[in-house]
Structure 1
Amino acid sequence: MAQKADQPVSAPSEEPAWKQRAVERSTQAAKRRAEQRVERFLDAAQTIMAEKGTTDFTVQEVVDRSRQSLRSFYQHFDGKHELLLALFEDAMSKSADELRAAAAEKSNPLDRLRVVVEELFESSRPDLTGSQRPLFTDFALRLLVSHPAEMRVANAPLLALFTDLMQELEDANLLRSGFKARRAAALTMQTVMFNAQSSGQEGAHPLTADEIWDFCANGFTLS
Structure 2
Amino acid sequence: MNSATEDPAWKQRAVERSIRTAKLRAEQRVQRFLDAAQAIILENGTMDFTVQEVVERSRQSLRSFYLQFDGKHELLVALFEEALINAADQIRTVAASRPDPLDRLAVAVQLLFDLSRPDPTAQRPLFTDFAPRLLVTHPAQVKVAHAPLLALFVDLVNDAAAAGELRPGLNPRRVAAMTMQTVMFTARSGGNLDDATARPITAEEVWKFCATGVVHQS
Deviation (angstroms), 1:49: 0.9
Is the alpha carbon distance of 1:11 and 1:182 closer, same or farther for their aligned partners in structure 2, counting shifts above 3 Å?
Answer: closer
**Alignment correspondent of 1:55:** 47
Is the alpha carbon distance of 1:29 and 1:212 closer, same or farther for their aligned partners in structure 2, counting shifts above 3 Å?
Answer: same
**Alignment correspondent of 1:217:** 211
Deviation (angstroms), 1:121: 0.8
SS for the counterpart of 2:208 is: helix
| Cα distance in 1, alignment partners of residues 170 and 98 from structure 2 | 24
The range that moved more, 203-212 or 166-175, is 203-212
Given the alignment of the two structures, is residue 165 of structure 1 paired with residue 156 of structure 2, yes or no?
yes
| Cα distance in 2, alignment partners of residues 178 and 11 from structure 1 | 54
Q: Highest CA radius of gyration, 1 or 2?
A: 1
1:116 corresponds to which of 108, 115, 120 = 108
Q: Which amino acid aligns with 2:64?
A: S
1:186-197 aligned within 5 A? 186-197=177-188
1:1-223 aligned within 5 A? 11-129=3-121, 131-202=122-193, 205-218=199-212
Q: Which amino acid aligns with 2:135?
A: L
Unaligned runs of 5+ in 1: 1-9
How many equivalent residue pairs? 210
TM-score with structure 1 setting the length: 0.87
The range that moved more, 166-175 or 184-193, is 166-175
| Cα distance in 1, alignment partners of residues 21 and 205 from structure 2 | 51
CA-atom RMSD, angstroms?
A: 1.9
The range that moved more, 168-177 or 116-125, is 168-177
Contact 1:169-1:175 within 8 A present in 2 as well: yes
Q: Which amino acid aligns with 1:90?
A: E
Equivalent pairs: percent with the same residue? Answer: 65
Which 4+ runs in 1 deviate beyond 3 A?
201-204
SS for the counterpart of 2:146 is: helix
Q: Deviations over 1:9-46 (max 9, x none)?
A: x9424322222222222221111111111000000011
Unaligned runs of 5+ in 2: none
TM-score with structure 2 setting the length: 0.89
| Cα distance in 2, alignment partners of residues 59 and 201 from structure 1 | 36
Contact 1:125-1:136 within 8 A present in 2 as well: no
| Cα distance in 1, alignment partners of residues 87 and 69 from structure 2 | 23
Deviation (angstroms), 1:177: 4.3
**Alignment correspondent of 1:6:** none
| Cα distance in 2, alignment partners of residues 122 and 53 from structure 1 | 19
